[in-house]
Structure 1
Amino acid sequence: MLDFLAIAYPWVKALHIMSVISWMAALFYLPRLLVHHTERVGLEGETHSLFTMMEGKLANVIMRPAMIATWIFGLGLVMTPGIVDWSMIWPWTKLVGVVLMTVFHVWLVRRVKSFALGENNLTGRQYRMMNEVPTLLMILIVLSVVVKF
């Protein structure tokens, strides 16, 4: 199995990068949709139904599969011999960043479900602030992997 991972490493890495890009695009876009849903649309009517459908498809058709693929290919990279030195700090900071990104993902899915139920208790400003979370986590993750601090 480990020999296969070593041979497949460039492919697994490429697929991991593509999955991360897809996941991050959704994590950046969904909070913006929630801002507009909150500030411009409200919780009823035809436009509310349209936004609810768009948010649900983004979360379930793009974001969830991209997150799952990111985790699968990421774990494949971690299991590849010689790639990760767990005695260093960077793999741990990256792991913390990815786990926090996953927690943010789950939080967004819960927000989408609450909108679908016609409920929302956050303001557009709060969603704007939450929109910065994936950026901060991305910085932590990329610096961890590239700089290896």
Structure 2
Amino acid sequence: MTTLLWLKAFHVIFMVAWFAGIFYLPRLFVNHAETTNQDIAEHLKGMEKRLLYFVTPFGVLTIALGIALIYHYGMAWFAASHWLHAKLTLVVLLVAYHLYCFKLVRIFREDKNTRSGRFYRIFNEVPVLALFAIVILVYVKPF
């Protein structure tokens, strides 16, 4: 039981750190898309890259600990936990979102961005909605 609690605790800790990064990175994209100052744009390029590379291990650790939790509970539990299947679908979408951020960092680095600050404001809401859904799935277990 103690191992399970430690796995859960660190899963949540790394998830919070991961989400902090994927909440903030698109805000940097908003600022980058809206600036006309080249010095600020260069500064934002560095911030975007450092933040993305800083939070990526948190995402990896969140997923690794989630897999460890599934292993600890067992395959029978996994098969019966339909709420978890929905959660994992959202996690896969978040991973795709995270990987797309690598592409966006490259686009900004190469000065090839064509999207507006408004696009990135909307883009910034995706992980917020995912977080709401994931927390509800984990704690309410609606199905």
Same fold, TM-score > 0.5, yes or no: yes
CA RMSD after TM alignment: 1.6
1:30 partnered with 2:22? no
Q: What percent identity do the matched residue pairs reach?
A: 33
Q: Structure 2 unaligned runs (5+)?
A: none
| One of 53, 56, 62 as aligned partner of 1:70 | 62
Report the equivalent of 1:96.
Answer: 89
Report the equivalent of 2:73.
Answer: 81
SS of corresponding position for 1:86: helix
**Equivalent-residue separation in structure 1 for 2:53 and 2:74 (angstroms):** 35
Asked if 1 retains the 8 angstrom alpha-carbon contact of 2:35 and 2:41, the reply is: no
**Equivalent-residue separation in structure 2 for 1:104 and 1:110 (angstroms):** 10
Asked if 2 retains the 8 angstrom alpha-carbon contact of 1:93 and 1:140, the reply is: no
Higher helix share: 2
* Cα shift at 1:7: 4.6
Per-residue CA deviations over 1:53-107 (Å, capped at 9, x if unaligned) read 000000012x211111111111111111259442232011100111111111111
Number of aligned positions between the proteins:
141
1:10 partnered with 2:2? no
Aligned amino acid, residue 104 of structure 1: Y
SS of corresponding position for 1:122: coil
| One of 33, 41, 59 as aligned partner of 2:52 | 59
* Cα shift at 1:11: 1.2
**Equivalent-residue separation in structure 1 for 2:59 and 2:85 (angstroms):** 19
**Equivalent-residue separation in structure 2 for 1:81 and 1:33 (angstroms):** 39
Aligned amino acid, residue 6 of structure 2: W
**Equivalent-residue separation in structure 2 for 1:32 and 1:91 (angstroms):** 30
Report the equivalent of 1:115.
Answer: 108
* Cα shift at 1:41: 4.2
| One of 41, 44, 50 as aligned partner of 2:43 | 50
Shift in CA distance, 128/67, structure 1 to aligned 2, threshold 3 Å: same
Question: Structure 1 stretches (4+) deviating beyond 3 angstroms?
Answer: 82-85
**Equivalent-residue separation in structure 2 for 1:50 and 1:58 (angstroms):** 12
Report the equivalent of 1:3.
Answer: none
